[in-house]
Amino acid sequence: MAVPQIIPDKVPKHIAIIMDGNGRWAKQKGMPRVLGHRSGVKSVREVTEAAAQVGVEYLTLYAFSTENWNRPPAEVTALMSLLVETIKGEIRDLNKNGVRLLAIGDIEALPAGTYKALMDGIEKTKNNTRISLVLALNYSAKWEILHATRMLATQAAAGTLNPADIDEAAFENVLSTKGIPDPELLIRTSGETRISNFLLWQIAYAELYFTPVFWPDFGKEELLEAISDYQNRERRFGKTSEQLG
């Protein structure tokens, strides 16, 4: 396949990815599911570097949802260990490559070791400016929206916020993605065509891209293909084609 051509000034600032298919990838090869997750880490590395190379500023990855706690306990434990091991092991390379680590989700409720490794990774990479890698961990959009609502309601009940002043900006200020621009492109791998409780507020105008490729097989070429597809779409934001000129 020819390398997809990317138009530099039409690269999305923020790409969000639902990394799916690790388990099926492993099963297809007769391997345990956890080896699929391990191979998925390679894709995380390759896709982060490729995104930075083309000028993407934020890459958000759905690494663990609030619903993923319902998986078999051994898989949950393996995923948490893999996260700790990966974050600890990658800090040097993240700094070498200018990657700032961020996290969204109910991260304080993560197991203590995972929380600590994550906070340490965030602290040690905080001055990097080439790309921000946002890990969605113990995240779900419904959790995030409820949490934001509770914060605003608390302020209103305390008399420090007038309910009439709750506009989009005020709401966005209490989301976990505060300060992060909305993704222009959302990718889901593995052939599933669902949003699965991911960034529901933030993807209001995102372009959606679904690919049958399993996450461990998704690399630089597949990312460029998705960006190229995005660049061929007409983003109307409620207007007509004619109005866009």
Catalytic residue numbers, as ranges: 20, 68
Q: Quick check: 187 and 226 in contact, CB under 8 A?
A: yes
- DSSP-H helix ranges across the chain: 22-28, 33-54, 73-96, 112-124, 141-157, 168-172, 220-231, 241-244
When asked if residue 184 is in the footprint of ligand FPP (CB under 6 A), the reply is no
Amino acid, single-letter form, for residue 204: A
State the number of binding residues for ligand FPP (CB under 6 A).
Answer: 18
Complex with ligand FPP: residue 13 or 45, whichever CB lies closer: 45
When asked if residue 105 is in the footprint of ligand FPP (CB under 6 A), the reply is no
When asked if residue 37 is in the footprint of ligand FPP (CB under 6 A), the reply is yes
Cα–Cα dist 47/53, whole Å: 10
Q: What x-and-dash track marks residues 129-168 binding ligand FPP by CB under 6 A?
A: ------x---------------------------------
Please state, as a whole number, how many other Cβ atoms lie within 10 Å of the Cβ of residue 66. Answer: 18
Binding ligand FPP by CB under 6 A: which of 15, 17, 40, 121?
40
Strand order in the sheet with 99-104: 99-104, 131-139, 58-65, 14-18, 185-188, 207-210
Complex with ligand FPP: residue 83 or 175, whichever CB lies closer: 83
| Residues in contact with ligand FPP by the rule CB under 6 A | 19-24, 37, 40-41, 44, 61, 63, 68, 82-83, 86, 135, 190
